[in-house]
Structure 1
Amino acid sequence: MRVRMTGLAGAAAVAALLVGAAPASAAPGDASAYGARLHVTLLGSPAVTAEPFAAADANGRGQNTFAGVDLTGILKTGVINASASRDENSGGVHSRASTADVRLDLLAKATGKISAELVEADCAATQKGLTGKAKLVGVDLGKLGRVDADPAPNTKLDVQLAGVKIAEVVFNEQIRNNDGSLTVNAIHIRLLQGVLGSIGTGDVIISSATCGPAGLPIPMASGAGLWIGLGLLGAAAAPAAAVALRRRASLNAA
């Protein structure tokens, strides 16, 4: 009887180890996205702060839509769509934000009005790593210059007024975060503080997606991971069960 109880106790210990380890070792990655966010203070005007529009998150609202932003003298957009998802089987995550009919009046004094038919940011994390990209459709940068429809990561154009740099615009900005995730900002405008001729300070981000790193490929607590866990449990318990049977057979023979 003692031997049989020992075998069951060993099996229970292995089971507890598997179940207890599952949440920590199989936690998947995260992903999020939004269409626009800004915090600017223009000269002679109060600060304007707008929280992320159409925010989506793989752990909450996976898809979100916003009818459009209308901030006079700063930014106007059409429909914003954002999505963030996680594949529980592979551990991969994906996020995307798209902002339609963008019109940026913030820099009009220096560049004229900047506009785009569509501004997209895309981010994906798999077991192979993280990738991100931005796509710009129908972009008109006025006096600022030109940029490709698929700009290279961290493409930057300087904004000057009367020969003085007052801002910079980054296209396909890619930021590697300390937690291992990747953030892709399709357009990021930075107003430079404390420069002669400055129109103000702050940041405007249009279409942002963050993802990764990917989680473990198979959650231990469900699906295929559960069958793997049960298989490991059986393999661990088998030697103890075999010893118990041999000892029982010896006792019966005696």
Structure 2
Amino acid sequence: MKKTHLLRRAGLLGAVVAGVVLAGAVPASAAAGDGSAYGVKADVKLLGADAVQAGPFSAASTAGPEKMSLAKVDLPGILVAGAINTEAKRDAESGAVSSKASTADVRLPLLEGALGKVGVKLIEAKCSATQKGVQGSSTFAKADLGSLGEIPVTPAANTTLKVGLGDINVATVILNEQIKNKDGSLTVNALHVKLLGAALQPLGSGDVIVSSATCGPAGLPMPLASGAGLWIAFGVLGAIAVPIGTRITRNRRRATA
């Protein structure tokens, strides 16, 4: 009776572990995390000029291509930028997502009438999404925003600066703009210039974004029954089965004796 009981117990435990392995093979119900990044995007209508819709330039995505680069962007009267490098990637095992965009040697002729010379050596946006949450940041190297003065290397989220021309507020400059999207993802726009188009529209209307990264939410970790997860499951099965098998063998020997 004792031997039969142990055999049944071994079979039951084996079935439980097998059930765990099979459960892990069921496809996840949530889609894997997504990420994207780009260097420059403009959608503006300047006073006395045609509307300009350009970009996103050097766009990367977790869906591919994961890395992109561009030597230069020149939008006359709006923006001039040097090298752009972007990246968006997803870790298949952890589900983590990371994106970043860097744009070098940025000038904004768009704002020079109101602020004087405006230039930044490097503008970078980055974000990351893990099972703990999503976070992002922006970095500015050697930034000169004319009459707006110096800005921090790493501005606080959604730092907002007003641009005036005489007594008229013509634009808003947002540094390290962070937008929480409805799907749980986070978009980080390192620099966002918003032309307000108010009063007599001394500049115009529209938006210019430099260095943007979007992350998450993170995807589910690697399923138990795929890749390394499958070997982990078999390891658990082996760890349980070996002691049980040893007990059954010992009982058989005692019965024979």
Which TM-score applies when normalising by structure 2? 0.80
Cα distance, 1:72 vs structure 2: 1.2
Instruction: Decide whether the 8 Å contact of 1:192 with 1:198 is kept in 2.
Output: no
Instruction: Decide whether the 8 Å contact of 2:160 with 2:173 is kept in 1.
Output: yes
1:22 to 2:30 alignment: no
Give the unaligned 5+ runs of structure 2: 1-11, 242-257
SS in 2 for 1:106: helix
**What percent of counterpart residues are identical?**
53
Give the unaligned 5+ runs of structure 1: 1-6, 239-254
Instruction: Decide whether the 8 Å contact of 1:164 with 1:196 is kept in 2.
Output: no
Match 1:125 to one of 129, 150, 153? 129
Match of 2:96 in 1: 92
Cα distance, 1:18 vs structure 2: 4.6
Match of 1:158 in 2: 162
Cα distance, 1:183 vs structure 2: 0.5
Match of 1:212 in 2: 216
Instruction: Decide whether the 8 Å contact of 1:123 with 1:131 is kept in 2.
Output: yes
Aligned residues: 226
Moved over 6 A (4+): 10-16, 229-232
Instruction: Decide whether the 8 Å contact of 2:159 with 2:175 is kept in 1.
Output: yes
Match of 1:56 in 2: 60
Instruction: Decide whether the 8 Å contact of 1:28 with 1:92 is kept in 2.
Output: no
Structure 2 Cα separation of the partners of residues 217 and 23 of structure 1:
9
Structure 1 Cα separation of the partners of residues 223 and 113 of structure 2:
54
Structure 2 Cα separation of the partners of residues 12 and 218 of structure 1:
18
Cα distance, 1:175 vs structure 2: 0.4
Which TM-score applies when normalising by structure 1? 0.81
Match 2:171 to one of 167, 172, 185? 167
Match 1:47 to one of 44, 51, 54? 51
Structure 2 Cα separation of the partners of residues 63 and 55 of structure 1:
8
Structure 1 Cα separation of the partners of residues 208 and 18 of structure 2:
56
Q: What is the RMSD computed on CA atoms of the aligned residues?
A: 2.5
Structure 2 Cα separation of the partners of residues 229 and 213 of structure 1:
27
SS in 2 for 1:61: coil
Instruction: Decide whether the 8 Å contact of 1:130 with 1:212 is kept in 2.
Output: yes
The one-letter code matched in structure 2 to 1:65 is: S
1:66 to 2:60 alignment: no
Structure 1 Cα separation of the partners of residues 27 and 224 of structure 2:
5
Structure 1 Cα separation of the partners of residues 114 and 17 of structure 2:
73
